[in-house]
Amino acid sequence: MGAEPVNVNEFEELARQALPKMFYDHYSSGAEDQHTLKENVKAFQKIMIRPRILVDVSRIDLSTTVLGYKISAPIMIAPTARHKLAHPQGEVATARAAASCNTIMILSYMSSCTIEEVASSCNAVRFFQIYMYKRRDITAKLVQRAERCGYKAIVLTVDTPRLGRREADIKNKMIAPQLKNFEGLISTEFSSDDGSNVEAFVRNTFDASLSWKDIGWLRSITKLPVLIKGVVTHEDALKAIEVGVDGIVVSNHGGRQLDYAPATISVLEEVVDAVKGKVPVLFDGGIRRGTDIFKALALGAQAVLIGRPAVYGLAAKGEDGVKRVIEMLKNELENTMAFSGCPTLKDISRNHVRTQHGILHSML
């Protein structure tokens, strides 16, 4: 592709050209038949926007706050692993791009760069994502390091009692490098009969007995707000509120865990209705256009997370690529707001979208 990319989808093609097949497949693929992976994107096409006319949109304000921290637009960087597979500067480049766009990056526990390296790379608000390990002391040490380095929240991913069957990684015999965050704590060099050492690491270290009571333990070891990522039903949203989480991320792990789980945009409103505004609800999965962001906001999300688009931007053009992906989405969202008669994010309402079934009804 000779021409410069004009949308996020074109960055994916540039990333495919730039990366070794094993690494591109690792980032782009999903579980099993990849039905959920594809539906995360396709489900947005079933939602139509209801534009409003003759509204003064000469000034559009995209800014919002998440947990009290102001960001320039409701677009955050989702936690994704091993950015050095995409670019030599890894998560440091991603963090600098997020900072220059005045938004929040959620650093993955599986980052190629350490918690400390990313914290010292630039001055910005950052959250830290973790899993719960069989050895609770490892979880505690990572949380304490993040807190010491000025991260502002902990995001616990809760949809991974085991790793989804990612057949591209198995076919490619995906061998991920040692993770620097775990040096001196635990080895991440596990071998596996099926060819993917990522699955072997998860099987040997993640705690499949994790339950709701463990949220209380996590909250007891940190002063930071705790969000949980991986909620897709109103039942689990109600339980999350009950155990005292500070925020919810509606996510199916980018279609990389349970195949044939619902597309996240199709369950967002169900979760929002259950939460009833008690905590912020963030949205993750399938965002490729500003219109997607508008639809998620209309269905109740406070902000959206982008994972693959940021990695594709990083692979194609480094720090500048990540910045351009964010700016593209911001510009498209601004256009959508203008056409829809919404000068601010607060003006975006449920009345601005229509699903294929008309008005969605709460399951509560």
From the annotation, which residues make up the binding site for glyoxylate? 131, 166, 253, 256
Euclidean distance between CA atoms 320 and 265, whole angstroms: 29
Q: Is 253 a catalytic residue?
A: yes
Catalytic residue among 26, 234, 253, 352: 253
Q: What is the DSSP string of 208-254?
A: TT--THHHHHHHHT-SS-EEEEEE-SHHHHHHHHHHT-SEEEE--GG
Three-state DSSP class for residue 95: helix
Phi-psi region of 207 (alpha: psi -120 to 50; beta: other; left: phi over 0): beta
CB 36 within 8 A of CB 164: no
Residue that has been written with the tokens 């040997």 in this structure: 204
Q: Considering only CA atoms, which of 354, 299, 266, 298 is closest in space to residue 43?
A: 266
Half-sphere exposure of 222 (CA within 13 A, CB side): 29
Cβ burial of 21 (10 Å; 0-12, 13-18, 19+) is exposed
Catalytic residues: 253
